[in-house]
A and B are shown apart, each in its own frame.
Chain A
């Protein structure tokens, strides 16, 4: 009798786990993160851009962390957490086609329903920023970009070389590394969104790096050595750059 009971229990578990209706009912969402410079696709190395002071500029690195990516439900209930943390990294974007494609994140197995928008944290939450690479696998987004001396992560990096004297050599390095707890910002963006089976939803975000380096006609004077580099040393520089990144981050559709 006991064996029969166990048999029936096992069978019911197997069948309930394979309920086709339940599996098919899940939806998916694609998030795309694009980077531009004066509305042109941002490409590493291969494109010459213009710094606000007119100097030719080539980028080598642009990346930033986003955390606590959450879909907002239409009933104001607790949202659906899509991802705890992602590194949006353009380091290997070498051509226009790749740049236009953007960095894509795909989320499957989402609860169908109507959503009103999305919340994205720029940078890392205090909780995440208190962790360290040793807490993660080697390929985890938080296994890198860590300042051990400051016990925190670099939220965003911009690295480029400028040709200030116009001799054709990009001899002037620019490096801006930004990150500290107080900079973390949660952006809430509204967009009606329906998650349903067989019809992946999508959202596209963009950041224009020119708008990070320039605002209202103001920009860092890179003829001054102290303005060519900031590793969260001078809040007048890194605070300004971070604020510009926040302002530049847009939901496109």
Chain B
């Protein structure tokens, strides 16, 4: 009676080797089945990303083409069911052992140790097949952009981005499972929510307006309006715990993620050397956010020589960049809204509150974080990409239209000692303001709004 592993029946006659040889064949077959069963394919890694076919076509960019493999290109099935190198190693090892068992001169010498070896190789092979390292995801590097800073302990991977994408759109993260990150950062609104002040769970009113996340991966001087987080990894956990936002607790989130049919696998694939925890959750969310890139507005296409501004847009460009002095008025915009990100990533007091004392700001902004009174009333300079789609404006959404914003700056802002000196009365005429708006319209990047990879994947 043959039993798998019963290779201890030492027999002098090589014909008695038959059971072990059969066992080896069966072992090879089982190993193949298990390896196929456990082997990770690109498709397996993307249970939320079955809909990305053709997505790449929806995106054009200056120097960075969105990834075309793995999760983001299920149209590449050729590799989907191919044996992995790990499995091939197992099979190759087993075939070698099989040959040894078939050799009449070697079978006595190696039967028992060979079986141990077989088991060892089988285990190692399966482990290798099951714990392949995540596949690197190309760092976004659009032409003209500074190099994105990515923490060495959180490189972009297809699996990490896929996990981050799933988490970003999943209300499982909020206490009552009603809101997700995307509730306030809606991709159709350039990752804002159209509200002056964002709402959290149970209709709770937050403290500030939701800023756009497009190109957020470049914000190395701190994120949030007040710069409280030095990195996206650190930022990602704040809304989860904020009682005015998601109002949740990590223990609850972790339990839900563990019970979820997909997340354990997604975490294992994204972070094979770590467990499902706060850090890996934050890392995955940060990875996804770093892929949110806007580089295909009309402004970008003009820069690339693919199209031209209209005369009105051209004049607006000149006003925006102060490039036509003394014939064309200057709007002083580009001191802070520096292209191509249309933010210099700094913090500034742009004159929203008159304050005779630096201690009198209703919202201290950066000052509350830095503890420096000269930072009171300063907020992060937001990007102007898709600006016409992200009303209302300012950190508290107090200005409802772009016309109000330009009027604010045209009047020179309200006085405070730390009012940015570049904010001063502009004396722009109505025509100047309309031309400026025409230019701002060229910063709309519809491809970033419709990119399927910036939306939840269909299951």
Contact = CB atoms under 8 A, between A and B. Distances in A.
A133 interface: yes
B374 A44 contact: yes
A231 B322 contact: yes
Nearest to A174: B421
Given A44-B374, A149-B321, A138 B421 contact: no
Contacts of B421: 60-61, 159-161, 173-175
Contact of A143 (B146, B317, B418): B146
B96 interface: no
Contacts of A107: none
Interface string B328-360: 001000110011100011000000000010000
Interface residues of B, number: 35
B339 A148 contact: yes
A169 B356 contact: yes
Nearest to A59: B421
A106 interface: no
Interface string B141-156: 0011111110000000
Contacts of A44: 374
A139 B220 contact: yes
Contact of B146 (A60, A61, A134): A134
A58 B220 contact: no
Contacts of B415: 169, 171
Contacts of A229: 424
Given A138-B220, A144-B338, A94 B372 contact: yes
Given A44-B374, A94-B374, A138-B218, A60 B339 contact: no
Contact of B144 (A58, A132, A137, A174): A132
Nearest to B141: A134
A83 interface: no
- Chain B at the A interface: SS class: loop
A132 B424 CA distance: 28
A229 B345 CA distance: 23
A45 B338 contact: no
Contacts of B330: 231
Contact of B147 (A137, A148, A169): A137
Contacts of A177: 335
Contact of B148 (A138, A171, A175): A138
B344 A144 contact: yes
A140 B220 CA distance: 12
A233 B326 contact: yes
B16 interface: no
Contacts of B344: 144
Q: How large is the interface on A (under 10, 10 to 19, 20 to 34, 35 or more residues)?
A: 35 or more
With most chain A CB atoms within 10 A of its CB, the pick from B146, B322, B356 is B146
B419 A161 contact: yes
A137 B146 contact: yes
B403 interface: no
A233 B419 CA distance: 23
B321 A148 contact: yes
Given A58-B417, A169-B356, A139 B321 contact: no
Interface in A167-195: 169-171, 173-175, 177
B147 A136 contact: yes
B325 interface: yes
A61 B420 CA distance: 10
A130 to B, nearest CB: 14
A104 B325 CA distance: 37
Contacts of A173: 419, 421-424
A4 interface: no
B323 interface: yes
Interface string A219-232: 00000000001010
A134 B143 contact: yes
Contact of B374 (A45, A143, A171, A174): A45
Given A60-B418, A175-B421, A138 B149 contact: yes
Interface of B: 143-149, 218, 220, 317, 321-323, 325-326, 330, 334-335, 338-340, 344-345, 356, 372, 374, 415, 417-424
Given A94-B374, A175-B421, A175-B422, 19 more contacts: A45-B374, A46-B374, A60-B420, A60-B421, A132-B144, A137-B146, A138-B146, A138-B147, A138-B149, A144-B345, A147-B334, A148-B339, A149-B322, A150-B323, A159-B421, A173-B424, A177-B335, A231-B325, A231-B330
5 contacts: A94-B374, A144-B345, A148-B338, A149-B321, A149-B334
